[in-house]
Amino acid sequence: MTRSSQDPRSTDTKKDYQLPPTSTPLEPISVTFVTSSGCHFCEMAKDTIAEAATTYPLEVDEIDIATPTGAAIMRANRVPYPPVLVIDGRFHAFGRISAKRFRRHLDAITKER
């Protein structure tokens, strides 16, 4: 019995397999992180950012509150204490940073791009 080229079990038919299109790399999400030495919320926020950086293309700029830039960010956002997160130039949160809320914000930004 011979198999026709129409028969899906035929050994003489060739299928063209194509690789899925490669996704274009996302541009980095800018995260400005104002911190202070000895701040336990800052250490927790640093861990949250590091964990998110394994999934999202983050460009993190850590700034000490004692620098003029850090103090200016605190004043501009009327924040009483660190840490402060500014994502793509917009205030996100301060104090105890919610990992869930941070990831939701990053998801929304990623979908927009």
Tens of pLDDT, residue by residue over 50-83, are 999 999 999 999 999 999 999 999 999 999 999 9
In a domain, 20, yes or no: no
3-state secondary structure the chain: CCCCCCCCCCCCCCCCCCCCCCCCCCCCEEEEEEECCCCHHHHHHHHHHHHHCCCCCEEEEEEECCCHHHHHHHHHCCCCCCCEEEECCEEEEECCCCHHHHHHHHHHHHHHC
Mean local confidence (pLDDT), 15-26: 53
In a domain, 6, yes or no: no
In a domain, 102, yes or no: yes
In a domain, 8, yes or no: no
Q: Using only C-alpha atoms, what is the Rg of the chain?
A: 24
Mean local confidence (pLDDT), 77-100: 96
Is the model's pLDDT at 109 over the cut of 90? yes
Distance CA 42, CA 48 (A): 10
Q: Tell me, what CATH number does 53's domain have? A: 3.40.30.10
Provide the number of structural domains found in the chain.
1
Is the model's pLDDT at 15 over the cut of 80? no
In a domain, 88, yes or no: yes
Is the model's pLDDT at 106 over the cut of 90? yes
What pLDDT, on a 0 to 100 scale, did the predictor assign at position 8?
Answer: 53
What pLDDT, on a 0 to 100 scale, did the predictor assign at position 25?
Answer: 58
